[in-house]
Copies of this chain bind each other. A is one copy, B any other.
Amino acid sequence: MNEAGGYYLEELSVGMSAEFAKTITEADILLFGAATGDNQAVHFDEEYASKTRFKGRIAHGMLSAGVISAAIGNRLPGPGAIYVSQTLKFKAPVRAGDTVRAKVTIKEIFPEKKRVLLDTVASVKDTTVLEGEATVMVSRKADIEAST
Contacts and interface: CB of A to CB of B under 8 A. Distances in A.
Total identical chains:
2
Interface stretch (A7-15, A33-41, A104-112): A33-41
A118 to B, nearest CB: 14
Contact of A34 (B31, B48, B74, B88): B31
Contacts of A52: 80
Contacts of A88: 85-88
Interface string A130-147: 000000000000000000
Nearest to A65: B62
Interface string A15-56: 000001010000011011011111111100000100011000
A40 B38 CA distance: 23
A35 B41 contact: no
B62 A69 contact: yes
A37 B86 CA distance: 18
Given A4-B41, A31-B32, A35-B32, A89 B85 contact: yes
A11 B28 CA distance: 34
The 7 closest A-B pairs by CB, nearest first: A36-B66, A38-B70, A31-B31, A31-B35, A22-B37, A28-B35, A32-B35
Interface of A: 4, 20, 22, 28-29, 31-32, 34-42, 48, 52-53, 60-63, 65-67, 69-70, 73-74, 79-80, 82-90
